[in-house]
Amino acid sequence: MPTLNSLPIQAAEIEIPFRRNWSGIFKTTDAAAPAEGERVEFVMGSLSLVGTVLASEAFGGTAELLVVGGAGGWRMVPDGLAFQNDAVVS
């Protein structure tokens, strides 16, 4: 049985693209699901995928989660940087 952090999975849609991180939408059978930002491990047979919860919503005794592969850092916007060149051309 597929699990997400040892929670049984009722349904899952997983995308494993050729060039990007994997992502998936998981529906658990328990409303006590991992919180946003928490690291999770999806296990199905010999397949094991590690990711981070981007969104989590509980409803009616179940929870639906959006998970992205890795630590989720690629979705962060970096701080602005200022560049200056003091070289003088004469």
pLDDT digits (tens, 9 = 90+) for 15-59: 999 888 899 999 998 888 888 889 999 999 999 999 999 999 988
pLDDT of residue 75: 66
Q: Report the distance separating Cα 63 and Cα 29, nearest Å.
A: 7
Report residue 77's pLDDT band, with 50, 70 and 90 as the boundaries: confident
Model-level pTM greater than 0.85? no
Return the percentage of the chain with pLDDT > 70, whole number.
Answer: 93
pLDDT of residue 64: 93
Q: Report the distance separating Cα 25 and Cα 67, nearest Å.
A: 6
Return the percentage of the chain with pLDDT > 90, whole number.
Answer: 38
Q: Could you tell me which residues come within 8 angstroms of residue 89 by beta carbon, excluding any fewer than 6 positions away?
A: none
3-state secondary structure the chain: CCEECCEEEEEEEEECCCCCCCEEEEEECCCCCCCCCCEEEEEECCEEEEEEEEEEEEECCEEEEEEEECCCHHHCCCCCCCCCCCCCCC
Report residue 60's pLDDT band, with 50, 70 and 90 as the boundaries: confident
